[in-house]
Structure 1
Amino acid sequence: MNKTDRLLAILLELQQRKVMRAEDLASLFETSVRTIYRDIQALSEAGVPVIGAPGQGYSLMEGYFLPPIMFTAEEAVALLIGTDFVEQRFDAEYGERARASRKKIESILPDRVRADAARVRKTMRLLAPGSKAASGEEKDYVELVRRAILEERKLEFHYVKNMPDSKGNRKSFRSAAPYGLVFLQGSWTLVAWCDLRQGIRHFRLSRMKDLTILEERFELPPDFHLENYRPRDDRNLLVRILARHGIADRVKEAGNYYIETLEECEEGLLVSFRVRRPEEILHWVLGWGSDVVVLEPQSFRDRIRDEAEKMFKRY
Structure 2
Amino acid sequence: MNNDDIKRLSRLVAILTQLQTKRLLTSTNLAENFGVSVRTIYRDIKALEQAGVPILSEEGKGYSLMKGYKIPPIMFSENEANALITVEQLVLKNRDSSLIKAYKEAINKVKAVLLYATKEKVELLSKRIAVSPVLLETNPSNSLTLIQNALTSFKVLEITYHSEHKDEKTERTIEPFALYYSLQESWTLIAYCRLRKDYRMFRLDRIIKIKQSGLDFIPHKLTLQKYLAEKEKKFNTPDILLS
Q: What is the Cα deviation at residue 170 of structure 1?
A: 3.6
Paired residues of 2:159 and 2:207 also in contact (CA < 8 A): no
State the TM-score, normalized to the length of structure 2: 0.66
* Aligned residue number for residue 203 of structure 2: 204
Distance of 1:205 and 1:64 partners within structure 2: 36
Deviation string 1:103-141 (CA, Å, 9 cap, x unpaired) is 33323333443333333332212457486831xxx11x2
Q: Which has the higher contact order (CA 8 A, sep 6+)?
A: 2
After superposition, what is the alpha-carbon deviation per residue over 1:216-268, rounded to whole angstroms, capped at 9, x for unaligned?
4321222x2335531413446xxxxxxxxxxxxxxxxxxxx99xxxxxxxxxx
Count of matched residue positions in the alignment of Structure 1 and Structure 2: 220
Q: 1:12 aligns with which of 4, 14, 19?
A: 14
1:32 and 1:215 map into 2 onto residues whose CA distance is: 46
What are the ranges of 5 or more consecutive residues in structure 2 without an aligned counterpart?
none
Q: Read off the aligned partner of 2:122 and give its amino acid letter.
A: A
Contact 1:154/1:218 (CA < 8 Å) preserved in 2?
no
Q: What letter matches 1:12 in structure 2?
A: A
Match of 1:50 in 2: 53
Q: Provide closer, same or farther for how the CA distance between residues 65 and 172 of structure 1 changes in structure 2, counting only shifts above 3 A.
A: same
Pairwise CA distance, 1:79: 1.1
Corresponding position of 1:213: 212
Distance 1:151 1:55 in 2: 24
Matches within 5 A, 1:81-92: 81-86=86-91, 89=94, 90-92=96-98
Amino acid corresponding to residue 139 of structure 2 in structure 1 = A
Change (3 A) 1:50 1:160: same
**Structure 1 residues 4 and 66, CA gap change in structure 2 (3 angstroms):** farther
Counterparts of 1:125-144 in structure 2, within 5 Å, are 125-126=130-131, 129=135, 133-134=139-140, 138-139=141-142, 141-144=143-146
Give the SS at the match of 1:2.
helix
Secondary structure of the 2:71 match is coil
Paired residue for 2:158?
A: 155
* 1:190 Cα deviation from its structure 2 partner: 0.7
Could you tell me whether the CA contact under 8 Å between 1:158 and 1:174 is conserved in 2?
Answer: yes
The C-alpha deviation readout for 1:150-192, integer Å capped at 9, x for no partner, is: 24213232322145xxxxx344443322112222225210101
- SS at the partner of 1:232? helix
Alpha-carbon displacement from aligned partner over 1:289-315 (angstroms, at most 9, x marks no partner):
xxxxxxxxxxxxxxxxxxxxxxxxxxx
Confirm or deny: 8 A CA contact 1:7 1:39 kept in the other structure.
no
What is the 5 A alignment of 1:235-274? 235=235
| Paired residues for 1:165-180 under 5 Å | 169-180=167-178
Alignment match of 1:181 (pick from 179, 182, 188): 179
Q: Letter of the aligned partner of 1:226 in structure 2?
A: L
Q: What is the percentage of aligned positions where both structures have the same residue?
A: 19
- TM-superposed CA distance for 1:85, in Å, is 4.4
Change (3 A) 1:34 1:96: closer
Looking at structure 1, the residues matched to 93 and 138 of structure 2 have their Cα atoms a distance apart, in angstroms, of 13
In the alignment, the residues of structure 1 paired with residue 159 and residue 25 of structure 2 have an alpha-carbon distance, to the nearest angstrom, of 41
> 2:105: which partner in 1?
100
Q: Distance in 1 between matches of 2:163 and 2:41?
A: 63
Corresponding residue to 1:118 among 118, 123, 136: 123
Instruction: Name the Cα RMSD after superposition.
Output: 4.3
Shift of 1:200: 1.1
Structure 1 partner of 2:36: 28
Alignment TM-score, normalising by the size of structure 1? 0.54
Tell me the SS of whatever aligns to 2:128. coil
- Compare CA radii of gyration and give the structure with the larger one: 1
Which amino acid is 2:74 matched to? P
Shift of 1:213: 2.9
Residue 74 of structure 2 corresponds to: 67
The secondary structure found in structure 2 opposite 1:50 is coil
- Give me the whole-angstrom Cα distance separating, in 2, the residues matched to 1:187 and 1:113: 33
